[in-house]
Structure 1
Amino acid sequence: MTLTRFAIPFILLAFSSSTIAAGNTSNDSFNKAKKMLEREVYQDHRVTIYCGAKFDAKKYVQAPEGFETKTHLKRAKKIEWEHVVPAQNFGQAFSEWRNGHASCVNSKGKSFKGRKCAEKVNKEYRYMQADMHNLFPAIGAVNALRSNYNFTMLPNVKSDFGSCDMRIDSRKAQPPVTARGRIARTYMYMEQTYPKYKMSKQQRKLMQAWDKQDPVSKWECTRSTRIQMKQGNSNPVVDSRCESFGF
């Protein structure tokens, strides 16, 4: 078959899109993803993303000196696996999340939508939800208060957690400086990998700045490599910055 000069760009574009959208297609279980992270990725680096708190194999947290919280006291004792890019941010791109589905009916015959419906019906959503590149350990109370809020700069807001400089106000969150690079490279990964997720221009600009201000660490490179081995796909944003560590 002879290709015209007009057809070639479209073929290249299609190839490029399929290459970019090479996300998680090996595990659609959020619970399984959390177990793999705990046992096979973080087994020798049990440290939370936001507060740098250590935790043990049973997920109990050793709070850093000066850490405090006024809410979610029980959840402050253990770590939880946090979606850095909130599930709602990409979940709303699925019709099951927005509108429900004929299969999303509870035992009393009442229809439901949102995360539970998308998780029940849509495998593509479950793959995104279980993507380990987007899951990080966080103190439960921090995860709870951060909720599904987007990140921004909050220079006039005080920390909600004492010595852990995680600031939350008006449905926005500002993470500690030491977490910003990892957050940025996760947001960039999710946008490059999954066509259903797009950042706003303002959010993308912030993440590009944080990526430069907080360079990749050796642990971040190790984490990415381990996840690739278990999940089957890389985080090319992280990997492209890991050459100095020999990855």
Structure 2
Amino acid sequence: MAKPTVIYMFSLYLRSIFTIFFWLFATDAISSPISFSQAKVLSKQHVYFDQTSSELGTFYCGCDWRWVGQSGGRVNKKSCDYKTRKQEARSNRTEWEHVVPAWVMGHQRQCWQDGGRKNCSANDPTFRVMEADPHNLVVSVGEPNADRSNYSFGMIQGEPRAYGSCDFEVDFKSRVVEPRPEVRGQIARIYFYIHDRYDLNMSKSQQQLLMAWNKTNPVTDWEKKRDARIANAFGHSNPFVTGDQVWRMDHVNSGQGLKGKHNSYLSESRTVNETKGVVRGNKNSRIYHLSSCPSYGAVKTSNIADFKNEEEAQKAGYRKAKNCP
């Protein structure tokens, strides 16, 4: 009777070893991405794998596409009556869009001031986590993604169409983008999530706009499914999608995403706002920019005049930039 017992115990041992390896493998396969390139591949595999001909389509234009390679895609422009504005190659492919631009997430960090996005991606673990967050990634036709750049979202008078039937408008002079109504609510909830999780500043005017979009464009079925897929694959939901959090004016950020082990770097790489003024003036133009404004990081170092607040800048004879949200 001893022999079967030994065999049985050995089989249990093998089973336990197999189980451990299985869960180690599974956890590794669906762990949170640690780079933007990895995030694109994993987002295709776990979130957007079956969405190429969905009712929603590409984020800004609603086009169908087919996957090509690890994370790219080819756009079916006829499916959405898309017309190329200027960049033919980028209008034919999909790209991964950061709804909250990398510039917004990074320009307040010291790494950005020292060398821009490339430096942040290479040397700031916290920025890499923000840049790779799947909740902030959507599939877009490449040309609108390029034209959006790091512009703020807003409303544009006159509805100037430049991409055929794609309801996506860009005011290049004011650096403002107006997205189609179908995604405005999702944009708002992604902005709330990123700013709350990574403790970013948001201007009152931007809060007002996004709060209005959140109210008039409630969570969709696809948004719920997308959030569930991201949570299942990478560990957590967007609480502004699930309803666990509600954004109100002057929201106090949780900073939940800054509490991981990757943030040991924070003590050495503080945000720019901790060491410099949150209002940046241009000595030449006599215009000032808030840290949330598109041109905040574009002022030449030799022309920078930092102020503690807007009142101080105005007393010094500066006026607020028109493209500030």
Fold conserved (TM > 0.5)? yes
In structure 1, which of residues 109, 133, 136 is the aligned counterpart of residue 135 of structure 2? 133
Looking at both structures, which has the greater relative contact order when contacts are Cα pairs under 8 Å and sequence separation is at least 6? Answer: 1
Alignment map for 1:1-247 (pairs within 5 Å): 26-46=32-52, 47-58=57-68, 59-63=73-77, 64-98=79-113, 100=114, 113-169=115-171, 170=173, 171-195=175-199, 197-240=200-243
- Cα offset for 1:155? 2.0
- 2:97 aligned counterpart, secondary structure: strand
- 2:96 aligned counterpart, secondary structure: strand
Question: For each residue in 1:54-93, what CA deviation from the matched residue of structure 2 results, as whole angstroms up to 9, or x when unmatched?
Answer: 1112111112343112211101111000000110011012
Q: Any unmatched runs of 5+ in structure 2? A: 1-30, 245-325
- Cα offset for 1:29? 0.9
Q: Which residue is 1:105 aligned to?
A: none
Does structure 2 retain, via aligned residues, the 8 Å contact 1:181–1:212?
A: yes
Matches of 2:120 and 2:58, distance apart in 1: 28
Q: Any unmatched runs of 5+ in structure 1? A: 1-24, 101-112, 242-247
Matches of 2:80 and 2:62, distance apart in 1: 11
Does structure 2 retain, via aligned residues, the 8 Å contact 1:72–1:144?
A: no
- Cα offset for 1:160? 2.1
RMSD of aligned C-alpha atoms?
1.4
- 2:146 aligned counterpart, secondary structure: helix
Percent of aligned positions that are identical: 39
Q: TM-score, normalised by structure 2?
A: 0.61
Does structure 1 retain, via aligned residues, the 8 Å contact 2:80–2:166?
A: no
Matches of 2:195 and 2:241, distance apart in 1: 13
Matches of 2:177 and 2:165, distance apart in 1: 16
- Cα offset for 1:229? 1.6
Higher strand share: 2
- 1:93 aligned counterpart, secondary structure: coil
Does structure 1 retain, via aligned residues, the 8 Å contact 2:154–2:177?
A: yes
Matches of 1:66 and 1:148, distance apart in 2: 26
Aligned-partner residue type, residue 99 of structure 2: V
- Cα offset for 1:236? 0.4
Matches of 1:33 and 1:90, distance apart in 2: 16
Question: For each residue in 1:154-192, what CA deviation from the matched residue of structure 2 results, as whole angstroms up to 9, or x when unmatched?
Answer: 022402212111110121100011110111110111111
Matches of 1:92 and 1:228, distance apart in 2: 28
Does structure 2 retain, via aligned residues, the 8 Å contact 1:61–1:77?
A: yes
Question: For each residue in 1:2-48, what CA deviation from the matched residue of structure 2 results, as whole angstroms up to 9, or x when unmatched?
Answer: xxxxxxxxxxxxxxxxxxxxxxx932211111011112111111221
Number of aligned positions between the proteins? 203
Does structure 2 retain, via aligned residues, the 8 Å contact 1:146–1:168?
A: yes
Matches of 1:36 and 1:28, distance apart in 2: 11
- 2:88 aligned counterpart, secondary structure: coil
Q: Which has more radius of gyration? A: 2
Matches of 2:63 and 2:49, distance apart in 1: 14
Matches of 1:223 and 1:61, distance apart in 2: 21
Q: TM-score, normalised by structure 1?
A: 0.79
Does structure 2 retain, via aligned residues, the 8 Å contact 1:152–1:173?
A: yes
Aligned-partner residue type, residue 228 of structure 1: A
- 1:75 aligned counterpart, secondary structure: helix
Does structure 2 retain, via aligned residues, the 8 Å contact 1:150–1:173?
A: yes
Aligned-partner residue type, residue 30 of structure 1: F
Aligned-partner residue type, residue 153 of structure 2: F
